[in-house]
Copies of this chain bind each other. A is one copy, B any other.
Amino acid sequence: MNLAVQLPGLTLKNPVMPASGCFGFGKEYSEFYDLNTLGAIIVKAATGEARYGNPTPRVAETSSGMLNAIGLQNPGVEKIITDELPFLRPFDTPVIANVAGSTVEEYVHVATTLNKSQDIAALELNISCPNVKEGGVQFGTNPELAKEVTYKVKEASNFPVYVKLSPNVSNITTMAKAVVDVGADGLSMINTLTGMQINLKKRAPIIANKTGGLSGPAIKPIAIRMIYEVRQALDVPIIGMGGITTAEDVVEFLLAGANAVAVGTANFQNPYACPEIIEQLPQVLSEYGFSSVADAIGKGHVHE
């Protein structure tokens, strides 16, 4: 069965890759299995300078999901290029760098700095970060801000840019169109939904940052809906994610219109999640009558 997928800047042997922030920079899970099995790897967010991240607790468990507020902890883009990414060089698996920042300038700086890396194949532009200049409004919930940061990062980068959309919006298609209009090579969706859990004993939010991002199977129906909507409006490559834990989930994302998928939270539950999903994918695809990954993409769309 042909699992290969061709996306801007990415030749994937299969459509399954770990999601940003759920796989570090690859070292830890390389102790569990051969990273060559992966379609690609999206590494943890990079910012201009090193970030400590938020105080702990940073995670909480919810029904079929989890909240996280890691706070973009990372050693900074320079150190990522010199100390983290080279580890992934020997693997025959494209690496996607996740770009974050608090100002347009920081995003551009990160993207420009990443131009010198030999170890990456594409950027994932994480626009779910709050813009400190605009008083914390997320780049990802304001089409004008999203446009601006996408345009400037596209201009600065030598790599294809996949813009990672936030689901915390009324109209995902408007956001998708905004960033595609200014040159996004693809979309990555969805990031987490903002949530909170309150500790009854402590009478306070469990997560020190109060709110956190909701991920996991709980959000899958929202991810599927958003990908379906965007796919109906736009012909653009989509890396789909949000609650994937099985090969059946992958096929559901493909049917909704994703060209490839990322697996996040499931890695924590099962460190072998990605290779197991990849192993089962051919069988599940053929069980539902598909002859390849390409054959399934967008096939869940009903045309009246």
Contacts and interface: CB of A to CB of B under 8 A. Distances in A.
Interface stretch (A40-48, A63-71, A86-94): A63-71
A268 interface: no
Contacts of A256: 196, 198
Nearest to A287: B200
A204 interface: yes
Of the candidates A67, A138, A193, A243, the one having the most CB atoms from chain B within 10 angstroms of its own CB is A193
B251 A299 contact: no
Contacts of A132: none
Interface string A158-180: 00000000001111000000000
A256 B210 CA distance: 11
A225 B204 contact: no
A62 B255 contact: no
Interface size class of A (residues with CB under 8 A): 35 or more
Contact of A302 (B193, B210, B219, B225): B210
Which one of A194, A217, A218 has the greatest number of beta carbons of chain B within 10 Å? Answer: A218
A288 interface: yes
Interface in A256-304: 256, 288, 299-300, 302
A218 B64 contact: yes
A201 interface: yes
Stoichiometry (number of copies): 2
A26 B67 CA distance: 36
Nearest to A195: B221
A220 interface: yes
Main secondary structure of the interface of A (DSSP, over half): mixed
A195 B224 CA distance: 7
Contacts of A243: 63
Contact of A222 (B142, B195, B210, B255): B195
A222 B194 contact: yes
Interface in A62-104: 62-65, 67
A252 interface: yes
A201 B288 contact: yes
Given A63-B64, A170-B170, A302-B204, A196 B221 contact: yes
A115 interface: no
Interface of A: 62-65, 67, 138, 141-142, 168-171, 193-198, 200-201, 203-205, 210-212, 214, 216-222, 224-225, 228, 243, 248, 251-252, 255-256, 288, 299-300, 302
5 contacts: A63-B220, A168-B170, A198-B252, A203-B255, A203-B299
Given A62-B221, A64-B65, 13 more contacts: A62-B217, A63-B220, A63-B243, A138-B170, A194-B222, A195-B225, A196-B228, A198-B300, A200-B255, A200-B288, A205-B300, A212-B221, A214-B222
